[in-house]
Structure 1
């Protein structure tokens, strides 16, 4: 005779299963039964202990748990130490929020030692909470002896690695342009940058040509804040450029830009009449110009400003690219190639330094409007608008990044590239294209 089951109660059943596992010590007994089996070593890619688990961390652990159970059921001795990421900026940003801090200077006032202790307290308390949540999901890992990145054993291993890199001459300090978060005041790897749509200025600016009255090179940019750091203009050697006489409101001036972009630039500037005076190949466009903000940034008047050739220039906007070696990767490479000054008048907090003259102390993004007003006063702003585009943000605090030339420590991965590629061939990747 069939017996009718009562109503299915998932919560109650889950609780009974957990109680049974605890009563018979299921996890330990299964591991002990497999101790003589072939070892399967698992390294837990650790979650940050920044709060309660979310769908992503839950899904991650459930998939891992399924694979480890499968291996154990097939006789493997699974080494499954849990892991926690408990140091670094994600924890610090959370603690700064708890303490109501707005900048790194608040940490200095609070005391670095006190702040570190608070971060440890925060990380450890959330570890306990998140461990319970993962256990409630039924995840079997060695929760009693997890590896934690705030422990000395882990930190010392990182220092040991750096020591070995130094011994092998793989560690170097050098000036590079990097992704930089002005709120966290730290460099960010390319893989850590998150992109989202933002509205930024879209501006056409006239750079006055030296020794040629009313003659200007026209550039386009979405980052007016980098104009105080301008050092050069790049053009493509094989593009055709024009000198064009343009008239607006009976005022005449000569503009230089890529020939195929002439029509759009004149439209942007609302010129009523125009006449091409000369067509020049980019490689022949050897021009010196004056710093557009030299009256606001005195340091700019000590630098020469010239046009250089670059293959990265595209036939977009004006075909003339504003180069600030201290604030762009391509700009930096061009600057190093031609031994240009790597002028970077911006500090780690995203504010202009004294080298920026009148802009000292201003937040760079907030300075955009001031800079455009200053250019307009000098009649150097050809056109101004807005553009919606994808822009990088800090993955930790969501602040828009900037590019800064800073002294950093680097591992010379290029020296290891061939060896690494050989080792990769020995690894089975899932999926294959990974």
Structure 2
């Protein structure tokens, strides 16, 4: 094998295989670049091998197949490595020490294992232009991202908004579902789930039962959702009355009960209840209709609503309910019982369970095993959080994506095609911004006075519009871009 590899290199066989084929007859192969933050393992080798097969096949069929190695230099992998080396535990420390210094360190470490990768690629016999690699931190690459971003924005396919996203409190940034799924970041965990008693106002000893797997969200509870068309029952247990959906009556298991009333969920809508923790200001603590999304498959048919869930947020907005964001960017309590302020969200569970038990509002405590998402880089438990972010509008192009996917020759046919189709059909709008430092800065400038927005699509455009003089070798990373300003065309103020 080594003899063959040496022959290929000495005689530049790969280079000749490209040059001897016409430019007019190309086979283009897109290959995602790896991170160079660790040595390659067998999983990489398997992927590299399969990605080498197809270009070789098409080369032998007479096609010109150029292959150039690339490095993914940005993002959490290198930032986590830098934080570990610099003994940084949170985002504020980076800002205090200087984003420029942090980014400089990231740059110095980003290709730390490039030589090891080169040895593996050569030894396995993969044909690719390795030494002349492109890097996502190259100015030309980053400027291309700006160009694409502006194109999408001009086509009204990019927007800024607040959505419920997977969020890492350690990295302090949203993470897309695709990233989590791709890296198999779900782990099976067993935690305490609880059935909570919410006391109905104006009805003696009557409680609504709601089940939750995230007790920490109860501090931010603003409403309870029912299905207006579903059947509910009022059952008597001792001297108290408990309301839940009829099909979930087994939740009363272990208690001696008697059904005293039966009715549709619509009869509960509009009723008020006493808050567990009074954190809301404005409209709150009322029963609302959650529609078909509220079912009897899991829980009690009554859903406790807090900001930290996609369904919850939609219903909260629809009913113009109070917004309570009781955790900070690090996942610590900032609103709620004073003695718990500063507690990490996962540590709140045990306090809340004990507190509800003391108040006789804990109806039942259950062990619950389920799949839970963790950060694919730092392994911190994630939670759904309401985050301001930039999104690509998938909904606008969904039909076109489905239509184009029909033109793809799928192997193996059938199952893979259906899986891809399902992904497109169910994909939410794609969050593309991250609240981090070592990455391509999003080319958006906002007016400090009138909130006018300006999108820049190239260095030339930046040079024409910037207040400051732009040097020839301008760096497009955040630490530099934060010091470049534009003049607002609408009111004349400074744009940051």
**Displacement after TM superposition at 1:356 (Å):** 6.6
Residue 320 (structure 1) aligned to one of 302, 317, 323: 302
1:5 counterpart residue number: none
Moved more, 351-360 or 105-114: 351-360
1:289 counterpart residue number: 273
2:280 counterpart residue number: 300
Contact 1:42/1:81 (<8 A) preserved = no
Contact 2:191/2:367 (<8 A) preserved = yes
Identify if the C-alpha distance between structure 1 residues 301 and 116 changes in structure 2 by more than 3 Å, giving closer, same or farther.
Answer: closer
How many residue pairs align between the two structures? Answer: 408
Matches of 1:34 and 1:120 in 2, distance apart? Answer: 37
2:484 counterpart residue number: none
1:353 counterpart residue number: 334
Contact 1:215/1:254 (<8 A) preserved = yes
2:43 counterpart residue number: 56
TM-score calculated relative to the size of structure 1:
0.88
Q: Helix, strand or coil: the match of 2:164?
A: strand
Identify if the C-alpha distance between structure 1 residues 335 and 301 changes in structure 2 by more than 3 Å, giving closer, same or farther.
Answer: closer
2:102 counterpart residue number: 115
Contact 2:277/2:337 (<8 A) preserved = no
2:429 counterpart residue number: none
Determine which structure has the larger strand proportion and give its number.
1
Matches of 1:303 and 1:228 in 2, distance apart? Answer: 16
Matches of 1:337 and 1:136 in 2, distance apart? Answer: 59
Residue 257 (structure 2) aligned to one of 250, 274, 285: 274
Larger Rg: 1
Residue 221 (structure 1) aligned to one of 212, 215, 228: 212
1:353-387 deviation line (CA, Å, top 9, x unaligned) = 24675532111111111111221221111121321
Matches of 1:393 and 1:55 in 2, distance apart? Answer: 23
Residue 3 (structure 2) aligned to one of 7, 16, 40: 16
**Displacement after TM superposition at 1:303 (Å):** 4.2
**Displacement after TM superposition at 1:93 (Å):** 1.6
Matches within 5 A, 1:6-405: 14-35=1-22, 38-193=25-180, 194-247=185-238, 252-267=239-254, 271=255, 273-286=256-269, 287-294=271-278, 299-300=279-280, 302-310=282-290, 311-315=292-296, 316-324=298-306, 326-354=307-335, 357-405=338-386
Contact 1:291/1:300 (<8 A) preserved = no
Moved more, 119-128 or 137-146: 119-128
Identify if the C-alpha distance between structure 1 residues 125 and 205 changes in structure 2 by more than 3 Å, giving closer, same or farther.
Answer: same
Matches of 2:144 and 2:24 in 1, distance apart? Answer: 29
Matches of 2:264 and 2:139 in 1, distance apart? Answer: 62
Identify if the C-alpha distance between structure 1 residues 76 and 230 changes in structure 2 by more than 3 Å, giving closer, same or farther.
Answer: same
Matches of 2:400 and 2:5 in 1, distance apart? Answer: 47
1:397-431 deviation line (CA, Å, top 9, x unaligned) = 22221011121212222222333334334443444
Please, which runs of 5 or more residues in structure 2 have no aligned partner? 421-496
**Displacement after TM superposition at 1:142 (Å):** 1.0
Matches of 2:23 and 2:373 in 1, distance apart? Answer: 50
Please, which runs of 5 or more residues in structure 1 have no aligned partner? 1-13
Matches of 2:275 and 2:73 in 1, distance apart? Answer: 48
Matches of 2:382 and 2:110 in 1, distance apart? Answer: 26
Identify if the C-alpha distance between structure 1 residues 98 and 133 changes in structure 2 by more than 3 Å, giving closer, same or farther.
Answer: farther
Contact 1:43/1:81 (<8 A) preserved = no
Q: Helix, strand or coil: the match of 1:386?
A: strand
- C-alpha root-mean-square deviation of aligned residues, in Å? 2.0
Matches of 2:351 and 2:283 in 1, distance apart? Answer: 23
Q: Helix, strand or coil: the match of 1:204?
A: strand
